[in-house]
């Protein structure tokens, strides 16, 4: 207001200075607002991870290089007070423990605070809702023993008086955080959700999502898509989406609720070379595996592989790598999709970035999900078991009670002989 008054007086009494004041005023009006940054110092919340369960029916995971604890340490280094960020691992991440920690953090959060929640482990979905598989869950009765994602939203809606909520998750159906976020948005609380899977999709057993989120928060230059030295929420989503697609053939979950993609989450620690960051197929252990080009030196490239929780970089000739492509089916196509080791008739509803949104015949839309070509079965396909999962394949030849098969959507380097115990009809 003072600037406007001064400009008016100047125009009336010193017209020769009018151009100067117009320029100043124009700059004042047009000057861009500074992008919002995640304030770690005012953040409170819970980081929970379960790799082993009381329920023997739930598969355990190795705790080697576990990323939930690494993420917790990183957030504290970024400025979150250690006393404000509860870490619950394995046996400590019970139903009561998680809900109590969420409630305590929410109740103690001041008006300008950010609430952060992260969970890694199994996720369970049934007709009653989506659940975090807490340490003491009974997978046969999740509604009475598990942490319902709706319950987390209810606790925050009644207890949190801050300004922003952030949900991140590395588990099956983790996109169900979308429902929690929408509930809070109706209460006037803004935030965002970034997850390893959509609300209807299972998730990989690897730490790919958590590792990528850690890379973004750590300032890895590969996450800085436009090279401006800042890593935004939108760039983090792009980084996660690429990692989940190319490394895991999985569509991630993402939702903004009153928060801009320009929210700054970290500063890049350096600059990228031109031509790095793309995903390719590269030779590794006798097969062509997904990898990322992280460095170039003449005709040589550095390819980064990711296995469970460990990065491995290998120097290769550029002509040794190949593009990573996927099959596509048009909207309206009737096909079969693998779910939990069985195939079900389905129809393609949408096609987006090599992902097919399919609806299962005879099932309601809550089961619709995004799938890639590795789960789509052709009429002449068979299912082949590999490390506990079933993949569509073609039988190339049969000999001596064994079949030589080609996995659909994968390089021929994956072709192999399998016994009858590993092959079945869809």
CATH number at residue 341: 2.30.30.140
Residue 79: predicted pLDDT: 98
Contact 204, 196 (CB under 8 A): yes
Q: What is the pLDDT of residue 4?
A: 30
List, in order, residues 6 or more apart from 269 with CB less than 8 Å away. Answer: 218, 219, 220, 221
Q: Are residues 268 and 229 in contact, defined by beta-carbon separation less than 8 angstroms?
A: yes
Q: Which residue has the tokens 């009809």?
A: 425
Residue tagged 């009644």 (tokens): 158
374 plus 283 within the same structural domain: no
Beta strands 43-49 and 85-89: pairing type?
parallel
Residue 182 and residue 291 in one domain: no
Contacts of 79 (CB under 8 A, 6+ apart): 40, 41, 43
Cα gap 204→122, rounded to integer Å: 10
- The predicted pLDDT at position 34 comes to 62
Domain span including residue 351 = 334-424
pLDDT for res 389: 82
Residue 101's domain is classified under what CATH number? Answer: 3.40.50.1460
Say how far apart CA 347 and CA 278 lie, in whole Å. Answer: 31
Whole-prediction pTM: 0.87
Q: Is residue 325 part of a domain?
A: no
Judge whether 274 lies within some domain: no
Q: Structurally, how many domains does the chain consist of?
A: 4
Using DSSP, how many helices (H) and how many strands (E) does the chain show? 9, 26
CB 298 within 8 A of CB 266: no
CA atoms within 13 A on the CB side of 202: 10
Domain end among 267, 287, 303:
267
The verdict on 23 and 62 lying in the same domain is no
Domain match, 206 and 125 both: yes
**C-alpha torsion 242→247→250→254, nearest 10:** -30
Residue 406, domain member (yes or no):
yes
Do residues 98 and 205 share a domain?
yes
Q: 418 and 303, same structural domain?
A: no
My answer on whether 250 and 289 are in the same domain is no
Taking phi over 0 as left and psi of -120 to 50 as alpha, with beta for the rest, 327 belongs to beta
Quick one: which of 339, 236, 222, 216 has its CA closest to 271? 222
Tokens 């190949």 belong to residue: 322
Asked if residue 199 and residue 312 are part of one domain, the reply reads no
Is residue 4 in some structural domain?
yes
Tokens read off for 259: 């928060």
The answer to the question of residue 308 being in a domain is yes
Residues 99 and 221 placed together within one structural domain of the fold:
yes
Q: pLDDT tens digits for the chain (426 residues)? A: 333 332 232 333 333 334 333 333 343 344 444 689 999 999 999 999 999 999 999 999 999 999 999 999 999 999 999 999 999 999 999 999 999 999 999 999 999 999 999 999 999 999 899 999 999 999 999 999 999 999 999 999 999 999 999 999 999 999 999 999 999 999 999 999 999 999 989 999 999 999 999 999 999 999 999 999 999 999 999 999 999 999 999 999 999 999 999 999 999 999 999 999 999 999 998 889 999 999 999 999 999 999 999 999 999 999 999 999 999 999 999 999 998 888 999 999 999 999 999 999 999 998 899 999 989 987 778 889 988 888 889 999 999 889 999 988 787 888 999 999 999 888
> Is the domain of 76 the same as that of 211?
yes
Among 39, 95, 89, smallest CA distance to 67 is for 89
Question: Do 217 and 315 have their domain in common?
Answer: no
Structure tokens at 225: 């898509």
Specify whether 129 is located in the same domain as 263: yes
The answer as to whether 272 is a domain residue is no
Distance CA 204, CA 69 (A): 19
261 DSSP assignment: T
**Cα separations (Å) of 236 from 185, 218, 406?**
22, 11, 35
CB 163 within 8 A of CB 231: no
Residue 107 CB neighbours (<10 A): 13
Residue 327 domain flag:
no
- Given a contact cutoff of 8 angstroms between Cβ atoms, the answer to whether 239 and 290 are in contact is no
Going edge to edge, which strands form the sheet with 43-49? 85-89, 43-49, 114-120, 164-170, 190-195, 253-257
Q: Is position 328 within any domain?
A: no
Tokens 């008739």 belong to residue: 345
Three-state secondary structure call for residue 11: helix
């Amino acid at each position: 207001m003072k600037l406007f008054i001064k400009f008016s007086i100047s125009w009336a009494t010193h017209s020769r200075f009018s151009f100067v004041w117009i320029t100043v005023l124009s700059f004042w009006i047009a000057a861009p607002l500074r992008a919002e940054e995640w304030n770690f110092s005012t953040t409170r919340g819970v980081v929970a991870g379960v790799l082993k369960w009381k329920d023997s029916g739930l598969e355990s995971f190795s705790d080697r290089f576990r990323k939930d604890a690494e993420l917790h340490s990183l957030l504290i280094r970024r400025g979150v007070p250690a006393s404000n960020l509860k870490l619950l691992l394995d046996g400590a991440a019970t139903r009561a423990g998680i809900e109590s920690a969420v409630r305590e953090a929410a109740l103690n959060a001041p008006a300008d605070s950010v609430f952060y929640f992260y969970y890694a482990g199994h996720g369970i979905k049934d007709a009653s809702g989506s659940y975090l598989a807490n340490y003491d869950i009974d997978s046969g009765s999740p509604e009475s023993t598990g942490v319902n994602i709706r319950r987390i939203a209810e606790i925050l809606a009644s207890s949190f008086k801050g300004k922003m909520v952030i949900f991140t998750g590395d588990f099956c159906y983790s996109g169900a955080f979308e429902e929690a976020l929408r509930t809070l948005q109706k209460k006037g609380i803004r935030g965002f959700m970034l997850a390893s899977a959509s609300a209807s999709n299972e998730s990989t057993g690897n730490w790919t999502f958590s590792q990528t989120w850690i890379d973004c928060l750590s300032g890895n230059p590969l996450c800085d898509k436009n090279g401006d030295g800042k890593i935004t929420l939108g760039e983090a989503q792009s980084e996660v989406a690429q990692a989940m697609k190319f490394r895991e053939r999985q569509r991630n979950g993402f939702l903004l609720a009153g928060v801009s993609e320009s929210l700054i989450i970290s500063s890049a620690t350096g600059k990228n070379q031109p031509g790095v960051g793309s995903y390719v197929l590269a030779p590794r252990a006798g097969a062509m595996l997904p990898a990322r080009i992280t460095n170039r030196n003449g005709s040589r490239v550095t390819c980064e592989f990711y296995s469970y929780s460990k990065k491995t970089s290998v120097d290769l000739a550029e002509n040794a790598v190949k593009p990573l492509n996927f099959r596509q089916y048009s909207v309206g196509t009737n096909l079969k999709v693998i779910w939990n080791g069985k195939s079900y008739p389905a129809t393609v509803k949408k096609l987006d970035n090599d992902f097919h949104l399919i609806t299962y015949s005879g099932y309601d839309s809550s089961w619709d999900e995004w799938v890639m070509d590795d789960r789509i079965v052709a009429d002449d396909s068979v299912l082949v078991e590999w490390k506990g999962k079933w993949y569509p394949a073609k039988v190339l030849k049969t000999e001596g009670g064994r079949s030589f098969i080609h996995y659909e959507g994968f390089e021929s380097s994956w072709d192999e002989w399998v016994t009858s115990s590993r092959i079945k009809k869809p």
